[in-house]
Amino acid sequence: MDFHSHRLLKSSAVLLALLSISAFSSNVSAKDSGNNIEIKTNLDSATEPEQSGWSSSKKYRHDIPIQFLGINDLHGGLERTGNVWFGATKYPNAGSAVRLASYLDNAQSSFQRENKHGHTFRVETGDMVGASTSNSALLQDEPTMQALKAMNFKIGTLGNHEFDEGLGEFHRILVGGKPTKHYNAAEMAYPHRSSGLQIVISNVVNRKTNKTPYNFKPYLIKTVKAANGKKVKVGFIGILTTTMPTLTTYKNYHPYKFIDEAQAIAKYDRLLRKKGVKAIVVLAHTGVATQTDAQTKQTSTSGPVVDILQKLYRIDPKNSVDLYFAGHSHQYANATVGHTHLVQAIYSGEAYDDIIGYLNPKTHDFAAKSLVAHVFPVLSAKQDPTVKDNAKVTAIVKDADQRTAPIVNQKIGEAAIAKNLTGRDENNQYFENETGDLVCDAQLAGAREATAKQNLHVDFAMTNGGGVRAGLAVKPDKSITWGAAQDVQPFGNILDVVSMTGQQIYDVLNQQYKNFGNGHKTYLLTAGLKYDFTKNDDQTQPFKVTKVYGNDGKPIDLHKTYHVVINEFLKGGGDYFNQFKTAKQVATAGVDTDVFVKYIKDQTKAGKPIAAPKLDRKHFVAGK
């Protein structure tokens, strides 16, 4: 479908008057040679002038106006903010649940002012919870679910982080059940209320019963009514990435089977069409990426979502999937694949999807060429002072802050200087950051202390980059709080000490640079060892590790056995590091969060305030 000329509905006056943010179609198209499916990348920009004629178009006067507001990967980010780039424009400190709520309300109000009989759906695509900030994590993410309820989200799907503590625990907080085990006092006293969110998931079934777990539905049908009484049904299909065995621990994923994404969509697309539902929306926790070629400056859209849609078009050429909300990869996307509009709104409430169209009561589908999709940033109060913080969500966040303050605000140590340590959003070119290296230092020290009585020396530490969720915050007085440390390591993974040969260490480090052909990218952080790597003339592995050596500069022996501390996620082959699965476990070293907190305490007590490590553990060597 081509974009129809339209008047873009602004989420706030400042977006037009102050920043002039609207959107444009870049008209960058490509056809997949194997599928003959056009892929068009569309970019939301800060410069394109407002278009006209969409909402007032006489062409659609007999149709029903409809709007979809979407988010993905909130991750319990009640107050988390970050830098967002739209084109060449940077928006600092974007995001937070409070600001997101206001932007969604403004977007919906703008739409309904122009379309009095229009209908708005608010949808999310997984990872609502998990890897959360401390004011949500300490309360088992129940404040996040209540914030989503206050934001009027009614339909969502599962992400991999909904499995972090077992799907049963997520279901408990979803429906407002009482805790099944004892947590901290703040969580036990929290009012456990239903979120009112309907979960739709079509490709996750119980391994034993082949049924969708917890009475979740594979699809939902919602009826939209026009002022004249005419009706159109809209179908929603939920999807979770089938790479789940690489994204959580065995005990969390093994109870379930994960059905091929395209096959599941095709199955329920056909079923919905048989029921007369032709306006179909997919809510999917599957990743997508928008890239710009450095030489040609051409922008393209790729990743697992594109692969899934291409397969869907092969097996179901007449599919009626008009809109695909993506998640999981934490990136911006706005594209069309065939006739399907594809969007993803970055991460943690830093942006939101706003899709507007018309439903045709005669065809029971979206009116031809009526869908217009945009992704907008959620600006800070400084960037956009005309948008006021949402009162309901503000109250939820304030309440969570007050309940968790006695734990979160505990001072656990001091930094050498009053400056935050960089996190994964500020990686250097070799994918190192100060907090990540510090975490590995802490795990190596903790593992050595834990195994000292066993006469077992731990040589190295490795952790996955995705396990270090934030930079370490340092207060102006140089103090470091428990909450700051927990925000860095929120998962509570068990640390395992494993034995590995030097060859296995080479192999696992090289797995960072494998091209899995599905858009998957990850990296390792290390302590106790450093390595050299260089370009490799192999598309399946564009870089290779050439030399691994200890902090003493001596190369490791390929045939010697070393002891390495890793987390239980990696031990299970998480993030495609399956070499760790072959390693023999010889000891445990506690919980990662606790180990990190203790390290900060111990270093400070020893008169060694926390300093940013030098980022020199990965060394690129040209020409080898």
Distance, in Å, from the CA atom of 148 to the CA atom of 123, rounded to the nearest integer, reads 10
- Same domain? 374 vs 465: no
Residue 237 CA neighbour count, 13 Å, CB half: 28
pLDDT of 143 higher than 80 = yes
Confidence band of 89 (pLDDT split at 50, 70, 90): confident
- 8 Å CB contact between 387 and 12: yes
- Same domain? 427 vs 553: yes
CATH assignment at residue 473: 3.90.780.10
Which residues of 72-159 form beta strands (DSSP E)? 82-86, 89-94, 119-124, 155-156
Distance, in Å, from the CA atom of 177 to the CA atom of 200, rounded to the nearest integer, reads 20
Range of the domain at 506: 410-620
Q: What is the mean pLDDT of the chain?
A: 90
- Same domain? 454 vs 488: yes
- Same domain? 294 vs 339: yes
Distance, in Å, from the CA atom of 315 to the CA atom of 161, rounded to the nearest integer, reads 30
pLDDT of 328 higher than 70 = yes
- Same domain? 518 vs 485: yes
Q: Give the H or E element holding residue 445.
A: helix 434-451
Tell whether 112 is covered by a domain: yes
- Same domain? 522 vs 567: yes
- Same domain? 391 vs 491: no
Tell whether 95 is covered by a domain: yes
How many domains does the structure of the chain reveal? 2
Tell whether 320 is covered by a domain: yes
- Same domain? 416 vs 391: no
- Same domain? 351 vs 450: no
Confidence band of 246 (pLDDT split at 50, 70, 90): confident
Which has the higher per-residue pLDDT, 378 or 518? 378
What is the end-to-end Cα distance of the chain in Å, rounded? Answer: 48
Tell whether 404 is covered by a domain: no
Residue range 582-586: mean pLDDT, rounded: 92
- 8 Å CB contact between 347 and 558: no
CATH assignment at residue 89: 3.60.21.10
Write a three-state SS string for 519-530: CCCCCEEEECEE
Residue range 549-566: mean pLDDT, rounded: 96
pLDDT, tens digit, for every residue of 204-235?
999 999 999 999 999 999 999 988 889 999 99
> For tokens 């969500």, what's the residue?
393
- Same domain? 550 vs 470: yes
Report the predicted TM-score, pTM, of the whole model to 2 decimal places: 0.86
- Same domain? 490 vs 376: no
Tell whether 528 is covered by a domain: yes
Tell whether 402 is covered by a domain: no
Q: How many helices (H) and strands (E) does the chain have?
A: 15, 31
Q: Name the amino acid, one letter, at 441.
A: D
Distance, in Å, from the CA atom of 538 to the CA atom of 540, rounded to the nearest integer, reads 5
Bridging pattern class, strands 38-45 and 332-337:
antiparallel
- Structure token pair of residue 235: 């179908």
- Same domain? 107 vs 162: yes
Tell whether 1 is covered by a domain: no
Tell whether 4 is covered by a domain: no
Phi, psi of 69 (to 5 degrees): -110, 125
Residue 147, SS3 per DSSP: helix
pLDDT of residue 454: 87
- 8 Å CB contact between 543 and 533: yes
- 8 Å CB contact between 336 and 315: no
Residue range 311-323: mean pLDDT, rounded: 97
